[in-house]
Chain A
Amino acid sequence: MGKTLFDKVWDAHVVSNIENGPQILYIDKHLIHEVTSPQAFNELKERGIPIYRPSQTVATADHNTPTLNQDKPVKDELSRKQLQQLSENCKANNITLYELGHKYNGIVHVMAPELGITQPGMTMVCGDSHTSTHGAFGAIAFGIGTSQVAQVFASQCLLLTKPKSLRVSVNGKLKPGVLPKDVVLYIISKLGTNSGTGYFCEYAGNVFEEMSMEGRMTVCNMSIEMGARGGMIAPDEITFEYVKGREFAPKDDDLTKKLEYWKTLPTDKDAKFDKEYFFDAEDIEPMVTYGTNPGMGIKINGNIPVENNLSFKKSLKYMNFEAGESLIDKPINYVFIGSCTNSRIEDFRVAANYVKGKRKADNVTAWLVPGSKQVEAQIIKEGLKDIFDAAGFELRQPGCSACLAMNDDKIPQGEYCVSTSNRNFEGRQGQGSRTILASPLVAAATAVEGRIIDITKHLN
């Protein structure tokens, strides 16, 4: 029987098998950030264990960083301390760190791909559940807890039981205005938030084959929102073209050899998956969420379903929505375009293209937070900043920002935010905030109108 993409990468990284137990899996790249690493560094220090392969770890500051005045000392004392601790830990252990202000600083899942750190066939981990993003390159990439961060520090390995395999195929032609974010929100709305638990997911079909790397990253990023530890897309020419020439990408002979290997990775025709789902691209519309988990999504011109269970009712009560109603024309005061899901250059191009020549509604605060310093520079270089400035949008500095509101970028109590991020949990964007997940296009249109509109009627 043939092997899946996941099998091939996994099997190539098994160091050994524990009888009646997990496997030792080798990790090629370990990404760290300020929030989930300090306790792991402490653990090793207390136990007198050195970092085994510091050159395979790369650090960035992103979760807890301000998006204004990054050249000045961080005001919040606890945040400042956490960032300092990361700097000290990286220095003491010879780990490369792209700290605040560095030209490569950015959200960990934006920074690593754009630097060519992320490559097909790798195993990658990070103390962040959206590490699934890197699966867009045909890598096995998943989020880990801090105890596991310490394990990778100590041994460059993890003890893991191989997950089951799942494939989601989407074929056909996407309608105008349907972006990769809509595709993944649609999949999660159909499958639910725990359908992928215990599985690694491969996305297949012409819809993903035709997607840009940015789009593929958006899709793989949200795999965890259906419970899957990771998502993967087979590497192809689009992947290779994206990786080539980047700072840490293989070069010359090394590249030739790796390309040869990468081309062997796609799933064999006769490979079997433990679970398969199929969707038609034509059925997908621009999406919005109405509840407090990412599976609670509807097409933008649809109606909130009517369900009679406690958790559903609790969710609608929190959002102050009624079962059966439509979200069209709901007034919105906050719009956030950013996060590891949608803060790459393509996302800002989509938004700028819609916004060009228009102005945001007076009631709206519109934050644009690029995923990295490089994305920020590109926004300026391409003239997108001028478009956003003229439209009254606020371009801030890179970081996780209002996706999880650890810094000052918080949505006020009771307010709705149409957000391109990945989670609409209660209070995710600030205590009492109400998140509506959507694509950068829907977010941009909401900012211009000051309310949710049926974007399908506003496209040329």
Chain B
Amino acid sequence: MILENYVPLTGDDWYQRRRQDTEGEFFRQVAAQAGRGKVHENSDGGATRQGVYLFTADGTLLGHTIATRSVERTYQVLQRGLRQWHTLPKDKRQPGAVHVEAPGTHDRRYTRTPPANGLIVHVHARILDKDAHGRWRKGSCDVLGGDQASHDRLWLTEAEWRSLIPPDPKVDTSAQVPAAVLDRMTRYHLVDNTRGEPAMWKPEEVRTRELTLTVTEVTPERVRLQLVGAALMATHSDLAQAERGFDARLEGIIEYDVARQTMSRFDLVAVGHPWGESKLSPRARAGRQPFGVAFELATGDTPANRVPPQGARNMAAYLGTAR
């Protein structure tokens, strides 16, 4: 397999092209060899450089293609890159031939790390349909890949996730999910990101939202809570005039491991009928079509799990700490 010949790496161009540090400069000089932007940019980063880049550890470009969903085209580029690699002198290719310098300081404006002892929750969205018996099934659309599940992560601080667990839980007692948590979930995660970068909801576009936690089980080992609620987001207070919107019902279950003092389950589903589309995610299905969002606890400290939420580009706004 051709990927066995490469070290596979992913990146978010929004951060990489803006960062003013060794890493950002290295990336921009690789991209510049492909005719994508300048090495020296101010912090707006210039134009997008998204695509596939093949290069050596010291930054010599071997191949490039703009972003494409064509498997064939990508495969050809990977093959050409390998051929280019093998034209390099052997003493440039052998293990240990290249010295990689330490990265130095990081541009903290474009560096994101999960909150200490916080919770990372996978968030997937998918278009849905119903079969002839009224049962949910995967939806279909005419956008290549638009029927697949999207990916994002919800970050909660330690104080936030602990606030979901009552200090003295008793079965059948209820409480509302704290506003800061619910605001983040609705504004940044009840969005349609199945075809591209979604528009997040402005605070005033969240028209109604409630999510009630009810304790359903308390044992020496665990506390289980049920989540039930609803949310309505719309770009206009008069729904008939709203270009975009999403009315969602939410249901879920969370569990707290008493002995380990950790959250052990965070299963939540939001299902409803969004309408409209945003600039970077065009070609939505016409009208109001069923759509679902699933939340699930991330497990393991993997690079993929540490990828920041899409909404974390403005970290202060995402965490609700902006003044």
A, B co-complexed: no
Which B residues are closer than 8 A to A by beta carbons? none
User: Interface on A for B, CB 8 Å cutoff?
Assistant: none
